[in-house]
Structure 1
Amino acid sequence: MASAAQQVIFHPTVSQTLKLWGTTVGRDKTYRAVQYFARFLAWLLLSRGHKIEAARWNALKNHLALGRKLMRLGKPWEHLQSAMRAAQRTDIPAVETITTMGRQVAYFGYLTNDMFVWANNIKFYNLKPSTAARVNKHANRFWLAGILMSITFGLLKAGRLANEAKELQTSAWAEKGSEVERDAKLQANLAARADARFQFIVDLLDVWIPATNLGLVNLNDGIVGLFGFISSLMTLRSQWIAVNGKKL
């Protein structure tokens, strides 16, 4: 019995999961996945008339959302630093630099406003209802702008990488460098394009969340929750690979 318990407790998957949850990103993405799944499930239960069960999952969603705001209190400054670092880069086209900076500044605005939303929700700093609604709207506008900037950046980067791949495959380039060097550059190009496609898909899923919050589109909580859940699982899997060095 003790041997079986040890095998469960010290199972490699358990150890890898604890390692994932030892990172802030790992915990946040796990909470986010549960939050949006709860949003989807609450909508599903409510649509079938199960009001009591739906209220339970809706409460879980709200508390997780509030907890995640607390975890992000210092994050606006990270995005400002990322914007400054992007401004100093000279290895990418100017349009990619501008969209990168725009995305980071937008996320700074989003998370800064989100801090006031959190402070108001926990009654640490009381805002007038009209002011609270305005701050929340500003947060969603910045969030939407950041995602749109990220989508634009992804399209620009994908186009540039595709052109670089074509250039590497031409016979003219082969005369300038060795086959080994070209193959190495092609592999790096393919990896960069895969990363760009991955982030592009995540952005396409997430963009509907602030757009719905702002009333720009009319998606129900079920669809929004499902999109958020899928994008959360995608980024959680990416973080798992980064932490553990292997796929799930």
Structure 2
Amino acid sequence: MSGATGVAVAVANSRVIDVYVKYTNMLVGRDKACRLGQYFARLLAYLVGQRIARLGKTAGRVEWLATLVKIQQVLATTRKMMRSGKFVNFAQMAARALVARNGEDEVVWALGLVNKLGMCVFMAADTLGLVGTTLGLVRLRDPARVARVAQRGWLFALAAQALSALYQLRTVAIRAADLRRVRCHVEKTGDAMGDRECATEEHALATQRAGLSKQLVAAALDLSIPIKGLGILPLNEGLVALAGTMTSLMGAQDVLSKAAA
């Protein structure tokens, strides 16, 4: 009995379980986990397909490929179900951005608005495709066109996100250059208070730069997915799947850090 009690106490006080429960309680956490599984299965399916192309078909390889494709499709559908109707959220955010700008930089504001509108179009078309194609509740005249509209919306949203990150990184670089000049002056005058203020500002800029750099990398990698989906560039399937896997890991890490906080 004491052994069972000890196990119960360990489970009740487990930090790992606490983080796991917080992570899985968040819809975005479950979405990121499904996304990681989806793109990792896509990457493995590509690798197995390449192996089949080189070494030929065997029953085991064909079965393994079919299983991976099925996992990818099931997880993709699961994610569509979880985000269905979310276009309303992005429409509301876009409307709020139009109503209240709150003194935001014009370029950042405009690119943020494009991002929200693009995501709204993506989510709306995605939901329509789910209802019409996957669930068959409505009849679509051209399901492929709906899918292309969704991809275009996502493409514009990601492009706006990448451009916004680049623009803000440039602003941060200008502020950092100004701060270095202030730092030189402070060091010459021996101003202790100014030195502390400079250190605080440097830390803030470093944190902002890291966040924007991560945003830029994630957007640039994810751009490969709609670019390939729309046939704009003949990108390698393996590289696209790898890009999706990497950004999924980055997203899951962000959610996990919030759950662990």
TM-score by length of 1: 0.89
1:89-108 matches, cutoff 5 A: 89-108=101-120
2:179 paired residue number: 168
2:56 paired residue number: none
1:164 is aligned with what amino acid? R
| Residue 123 of structure 1, aligned match among 133, 136, 143 | 136
| Residue 206 of structure 2, aligned match among 190, 206, 211 | 190
Aligned counterparts of 1:186 and 1:90: Cα–Cα separation in 2: 25
| Residue 158 of structure 1, aligned match among 169, 192, 196 | 169
- What percent of counterpart residues are identical? 28
Indicate whether 1:63 and 2:63 are aligned: no
RMSD: 2.3
1:13 is aligned with what amino acid? V
Residue-by-residue CA offset, 1:103-142 (whole Å, 9 max, x unaligned):
11111011100011111211122213xx101010010011
1:144 paired residue number: 155
Structure 1 residue 10, shift from structure 2 partner: 5.8
**Maintained 8 Å contact 2:85/2:127:** no
| Residue 133 of structure 1, aligned match among 137, 144, 163 | 144
Structure 1 residue 7, shift from structure 2 partner: 4.5
Aligned partner of residue 136 in structure 2, secondary structure: coil
Aligned counterparts of 1:92 and 1:63: Cα–Cα separation in 2: 41
2:122 paired residue number: 110
Q: Relative to structure 1, is the Cα distance of residues 230 and 81 closer, same or farther in structure 2, using a 3 angstrom cutoff? A: same
Higher-Rg member (1/2):
2
2:33 is aligned with what amino acid? T
Aligned partner of residue 137 in structure 2, secondary structure: coil
Indicate whether 1:48 and 2:51 are aligned: yes
Structure 1 residue 83, shift from structure 2 partner: 2.4
Aligned counterparts of 2:89 and 2:179: Cα–Cα separation in 1: 35
Q: Relative to structure 1, is the Cα distance of residues 89 and 186 closer, same or farther in structure 2, using a 3 angstrom cutoff? A: farther
Aligned counterparts of 1:89 and 1:217: Cα–Cα separation in 2: 36
Unaligned 5+ residue runs, structure 2? 53-60
Unaligned 5+ residue runs, structure 1? none
Once structures 1 and 2 are overlaid, which stretch shifts more, 173-182 or 39-48? 173-182
Structure 1 residue 184, shift from structure 2 partner: 2.1
**Maintained 8 Å contact 2:46/2:237:** yes
- Equivalenced residues, count: 243
Aligned counterparts of 1:97 and 1:210: Cα–Cα separation in 2: 24
Q: Relative to structure 1, is the Cα distance of residues 241 and 34 closer, same or farther in structure 2, using a 3 angstrom cutoff? A: same
